[in-house]
Each structure stands twice: as structure tokens, then as C-alpha cells.
Structure 1
Amino acid sequence: MNELPLVSVIIPNYNYASTIGECVKAAQRQTYPSIEVIVADDASTDNSVEIARGLGATVLRVPVNSGVSTARNLGAAHARGEVLFFVDSDVALDEDAVERAVEYLRTEPGLGAICGMYRAEPMFPDSVVKRYRAIQQYVWFNEIDGAIPGLHSALFAMRKETFLEIGEFNDRLRWTEEQDYGFRLNARYEVKAVPTIRGRHDHDGTLRIMLTKVFNRTRLGAPNWLRLNKLPGGAGSGHRALGSGFVLAAVLALVSTVIFGRWALLAAAALTGAGIVLDSRTYAYAFRHHGVVFGLQFTVLHLLVTLTSAVAAGIGILQGLLFPSMTRRLYRVEKPA
């Protein structure tokens, strides 16, 4: 790698007029001096393209909405940089994010990608759901400092030569493309996530959208976890997976109160408590840093997310067991001999 390589900051975008301005300006404010900013637009219908162009970013457009993988691939194909830094259009990078990423890639030649993490504060803290999601992902991401089995695709950097070697993002995948790409990268290189590369994410603002995304990503990702015998996330992911099972069991116990009465209620309370204990660091952070009122709001939202994840994982695992060929086709995996 050259001493001061050009970095292509690639921003996939689809109808993010509310955040694209902050995202582009944050990329332009980087302390690293050798940067080009590319917005790869996935056929947006709002004015996000005009905003990006008005700020001086290079804008490329996909003619038909095709998903984030297609947008990222388009940006990479036109990038002139020796380093590609992918950042989602709802993330505002810290000013030293690119500089720190380049330093990791320069000093660790065997590194396939270096991933950053979200801050605990959303880009625009204008709803309880956004604040909840920012804290939840902040706590979970910060369990990791080093090698990871997947990829944090919202903000990560890699050498362009590595991208060309691994190949493009799988354009069949709209919810789990980062899992697929991370597994492919890990087959040849080490992938790291570090807390020193940061960005503020504009998380989903409504409960419906958040739960829909959690359900789809978990359901579609679960067959791949089953195939690879891996769980995404850090050291606490196994405890949280078990905890989500307890929360699902608590709901089933609650439904059974018609038959078993107060014993079922006691069982539901005990199971819920066990689920909370298994993810106690997440709940504790909310109460410790934001007080009792928000902590209680956080608890309700987190139990809903945990329950949604458990139901989605169960459906996804069942689909993976019943229809393994569908999973192989989706992830372009050859049938075992």
C-alpha cells in the first residue's frame, strides 16, 4: 500500500434525503487528506441525489432499484482509490474514522477488512425507538474488539485489491448481504472490528419498521448461521440467543394461563427474568446512563426485539432444515459431494 493512498468513500443510498447531507459532509470533514466521496444511488425517488450533488459528491445511479449490494458494487467499480471505505447513507463518520482505518490496513497486511462501530447516540435523537436502538447496538458492538466472524457493513474499509479478489456483494441478498460477504472474507483473511472507528447512525424511528427489519434479517440469516455453525456478534451472543429463547418461552407460558392459571404466570415471570439476566449488560447500560424512566421504556422495547428475534430465528432455522437447497442457492454455495 502506498504511504498515502487515495481512499474512496462509497455511500450506497436509497431515499435517505433526511441523512445523506450529514453523511456526505462527515466524509468530507475527515482528517485524512486524500479522499474521494462517491454516492452510489439505488434509483432514489426523493431529492437525496440533488443534496449529494449540491455538496460536491460524485453521484452514480442504478437505473432500477436493485438493493444495497448493487449500489455498493457500482461504487466500487468506479472507485479510483486504493482503499474502499463503505459507509451507509444514514451514518455520519467521526472525523478521524478514515485516518484510523487506513492506519490499520497499512500496518496489518493480512487484514481483509477493518470495521467500525456506532456511537451510543443516534444522528438525530428524535424518538425513543432511535435512542433505544442506538444503545442496544452500541452495547452489543462494544463486546467486540478484534477478530469477528462476519462484517459490520455500515462502516468498514478494505483494500480494493482485496475486494477484487473476494468479488462483489451478492446482489440476491437484500437483508443479509453483510453476513455473506463477511463469511467469504473470513475464509481468506482476518476481519476486525474496533471501537476507535466510530459513526453516528440514524436508527429506525418507528417500532414497526425496526421490528420488521429485525424479523427479516434474523429469519433470512438464521439458515446461514445453521449452515456455517456460527452465531453473529460478540462474546455475549450465545447468552443472548439463550435469553431470547427464555423470553419466547415466557410468552408461551403467559398464553397457557388459561389452562395452568397462576403457575403459568409465575413461570412466565421467572422465564422473563432469566432472559433479562442473560442480557443484563444491555439493560444495565440503559438504566445507568439514562435513568429509570428511559430504562423502563428501553426494557419494554428490548423485550419486544428479543421476542421478535426468537420467533424469526426459529422460523429461519426450520426453513434451513427443511429446505437446505434454497439456502445454498441464495448464498451461491455448491452442493456438497
Structure 2
Amino acid sequence: MQANVLCPKVSVVMPCYNNAAYVRQAVDSVLQQDYPNIELIVVDDGSTDNSLEVLASYGDRIRVIVQPNQGPAAARNNGIRHATGDYIAFLDSDDLWLPGKLSAQLEFLQTNPDFIACFCSWSVWDGNEIPAFNQPTAEQRLELQKDKSGWLYLPLLDDSVIHTISVVIKKQIMDSVGFFNEDYRVGEDHDYWLRLSRVGKIAKLKTLYALYRANQQSTTNKVHAKNFSLLVLQAAVDNYGLCDPEGKCLPESVYQQYVARRHFMYGYQSFWAGHKDKALVAFRACLPHSTYRLKSFIYLTICQFDFIYHFVISRRA
């Protein structure tokens, strides 16, 4: 490929916070893509380790923006503001892309203009040896996973089927959707995909092109003061209702199951993290829903007796 009108610029936005041990691998996985027109913007989110020294070693091959620590949503938004590409992609500084990701996604988007964004399959990775990657055939490169492609608002109400590190979006579409919501400490990406799904169709390529590093320190593994997963769901339904832009609707009973599942998961995480008061509130909210009633009742019973609760927690430690 030549960097011409057939290869529009892709701006890759990478937030980085104290990831000196991993950021080089992430950056290299972008720079080694076979797509020729890439702008890599790394937003250092107030790192206190030597992340900036690692990034400086790349010279003018990457752009580095430094900001006080504000969280990944603010870092991504800062990168978007500085992006000059026709398309935007995201990669976190401890994850990586496999070869051919951008070229496949850009080819798909350029040959299928009715789609506003394209994401790919991804896998959790333990951070050790990179799994063997077999280059897909010409037919496999652009093969769609049809049940995860199209108008995705209703599937996204169920769960965040899109991973941030897997997606490429048309910049003009992002300009219309707006920025990531910085009020969400977690789930800001899910909120964005829900908003994006109201604008147009989104495609998923079957091929695995991204690896998500399993990390026990990740913000997704922490118990937050608020149930952000539930808040994101409720905000979407408050704003857009239970029907997608084509008129297909989610039954109210199914929506209530989605609500109950988020209460239960927040209660479960809070229970095992030692936040008994949060767990009690969440499990009580599950009781009206038959799917989670028995499990919630068991957890509530354990929470009522301190000696049983502490015994159960200690057995898991």
C-alpha cells in the first residue's frame, strides 16, 4: 500500500499511566503494523515511573502529550483533541495489536461505507508468550461476525460487546458523538459504544487482532463507590429507550434482567472485596428477580452474621 488517498491517516490514541514495563511492547505493536499512514499519540496521564523516558526513546515516531493524572477517559479525550487522522483507533499501554489489524479494518471500512466503525476479535492474554498468530487468508481478513455486526444498540444494552482496543471509528462520526464521559470512573467505553450505536451500523471482523493483558490492578477489577455498569445502562435507556434505530425493541422483562444482573455482579464484587454494606444494598435489589433471588438470599444471609461473613472471606483468601 502507498500512503495516499486510498490510505487515509489513522490516529491511534494510547493512554499511559505508570506502564513503563509494558508500554514499549504496546507502542511497537502499533509501529509494526503494515498500514503505512499511522499517527500514534501517547497521552501520559501523570505517570510517576519512567514511562516518559521509554516514550522519549521513540523520538518523532510518536507524539507524546503529558497531562496531570485524570483517568483513562480524560486521557483518551485529550488524544482525540490532538488527532489529525481521518480515523481513530485506541490501544491501552499494556495491551497489544497483532499484525495486520489496521490494514484489515481500514480496507473493510473503505469498501463498506455504510458502516461507521469496525472492531475485531480480541483475547485475554497473560502477558507472557504471545500466542501463535496465523495470518488469515484473503477471505478471512474481512469476514464478518454477523451476529455482532449491524445496529448494535440492543446487544450493547446486554453487555459491552466492543473492546476499546479493538475498534476503529471514522473521525467525523466521533466528532458528532462527542467525547468519553469523564464522570464514569469505569464503563466510560461502554457508554461511548452505546451512544455510537445510535448513529450507524458497526461491524465486527471475526479475526483475532488484539490482546488484552490480564492485570489484577486494572480499574475494571476494583470495587467503585458507584455501580457504574448499572448507571451506564440506565443512562442509555433514559436517553434512547428500549428500541434501536431500526425499530427493533427489547422487552421490558429482559431489560429488568439486565438491571438485576448488574446489581448482582456489583454485590458479588463488593462481597468478596470486603465491602459488606455495598453488597447488602446490591443483593437486596436482586430479590424481586427470580433469576438471582436464591443466590442473593444466600449472600444476604451470610452478610447478616459477621462471624460467618469473616469466616467465608478468610477461606477464600
| TM class by smaller structure | 0.5 to 0.7
Matched residue of 1:4: which SS? coil
Which residue number corresponds to residue 66 of structure 2?
Answer: 61
Q: Distance in 2 between matches of 1:9 and 1:105?
A: 16
- Do the aligned partners of 2:76 and 2:180 also contact (CA within 8 Å) in 1? yes
Q: Quick one: structure 1 residues 87 and 180, their matched pair in 2 at CA, closer, same or farther if it must change by over 3 Å?
A: same
2:230 counterpart (213, 222, 244): 222
- The 2-side partners of 1:116 and 1:15 are apart by 27
Q: For the residues of structure 2 that align with 1:121 and 1:248, how far apart are their CA atoms?
A: 34
Letter in 2 for 1:21: R
**Higher alpha-carbon deviation: 99-108 or 23-32:** 99-108
Match of 1:193 among 192, 204, 207: 204
> Aligned in 2, Cα 1:78/1:176: closer, same or farther, shift over 3 Å?
same
1:10 aligns with 2:13: yes
Displacement of 1:116: 2.6
CA RMSD of aligned residues (A): 3.5
Whether contact under 8 Å (1:40, 1:59) holds in the other structure is yes
Change over 3 Å in CA distance of 1:36–1:166 after alignment to 2: same
1:115 matched to 2:131? no
User: Quick one: structure 1 residues 249 and 212, their matched pair in 2 at CA, closer, same or farther if it must change by over 3 Å?
Assistant: farther
Q: Give the whole-Å Cα distance in 2 for the aligned partners of 1:202 and 1:71.
A: 19
Q: Mark the CA change 1:16 to 1:251 in structure 2 (over 3 Å): closer, same or farther.
A: same
Q: In structure 2, give the amino acid aligned to 1:153.
A: T
Q: What is the identity, as a one-letter code, of the residue corresponding to 2:46?
A: A
Q: Which has the higher helix share?
A: 1
Q: Cα gap change, 1:210/1:2 in structure 2, threshold over 3 Å: closer, same or farther? A: same
Q: In 2, distance between residues paired with 1:218 and 1:249?
A: 24
Residue 153 of structure 1 and its aligned partner are, at CA, apart by 1.7
Q: Displacement of 1:68 after TM fit? A: 1.1
For 1:100 and 1:252, the matched residues in 2 are separated by 49
Aligned mates of 2:129, 2:225 — CA distance in 1: 24
Structure 2 matches for 1:44-123, cutoff 5 A? Answer: 44-55=47-58, 56-62=61-67, 64-123=68-127
Q: TM-score, normalised by structure 2?
A: 0.63
Quote how far apart the aligned CAs of 1:58 are.
1.4
Pair 78,177 (structure 1): closer, same or farther in 2 beyond 3 Å: same
Between the aligned residues of both structures, percent identity stands at: 24
2:46 paired residue number: 43
Question: Following the alignment from structure 2 to structure 1, what is the Cα–Cα distance between the partners of residues 107 and 84?
Answer: 19
Cα contact 1:100–1:196 (8 A) shared by 2: no
1:173 equivalenced with 2:184 (yes/no) = yes
Write out per-residue CA displacement over residues 248-299 of structure 1, whole angstroms, 9 at most, x where no aligned residue: 7347448869xxxxxxxxxxxxxxxxxxxxxxxxxxxxxxxxxxxxxxxxxx
Deviates more, 1:64-73 or 1:115-124: 115-124
The whole-number CA distance in structure 2 between the counterparts of 1:178 and 1:211 is 13
Is structure 2 residue 216 aligned with structure 1 residue 213?
no
CA distance in 2, matches of 1:13, 1:85: 15
Give the match's secondary structure for 1:119: strand
List runs of 5+ in structure 2 lacking aligned partners.
131-144, 157-161, 243-254, 266-285, 303-315
Provide the C-alpha distance between the structure 1 equivalents of 2:16 and 2:181, rounded to a whole number of angstroms: 17
In 1, the alpha carbon distance for the partners of 2:35 and 2:80 equals 20
Counting matched residue pairs gives 234
Alpha-carbon distance change, 215 to 116 in structure 1, aligned in 2, over 3 angstroms = farther
Work out whether residues 186 and 220 of structure 2, in 8 Å CA contact, stay in contact via their aligned partners in 1. no
Report how far residue 214 of structure 1 moved.
Answer: 6.0
Deviation at 1:247, TM superposition (A): 7.2
In the TM superposition, what whole-angstrom CA distance separates every residue of 1:300-331 from its partner, at most 9, and x where no partner exists?
xxxx9xxxxxxxxxxxxxxxxxxxxxxxxxxx
- Judge conservation of contact 2:15–2:42 (CA < 8 Å) in 1: yes
Q: In the TM superposition, what are the counterparts of 1:1-337 in structure 2 within 5 Å? A: 2-55=5-58, 56-62=61-67, 64-124=68-128, 145-147=148-150, 148-149=152-153, 150=156, 151-204=162-215, 206=216, 209=217, 213=221, 215-216=223-224, 219-227=227-235, 228=237, 241=261, 249-250=294-295, 252-253=297-298
Secondary structure in structure 1 of the residue aligned to 2:163: coil
Q: Report the TM-score when normalising by structure 1.
A: 0.59
In the superposition, relative to structure 1, how do residues 225 and 49 fare at CA in structure 2: closer, same or farther (>3 Å)? Answer: same
1:165 is paired with a residue whose SS is helix
**Matched residue SS, 1:105:** helix
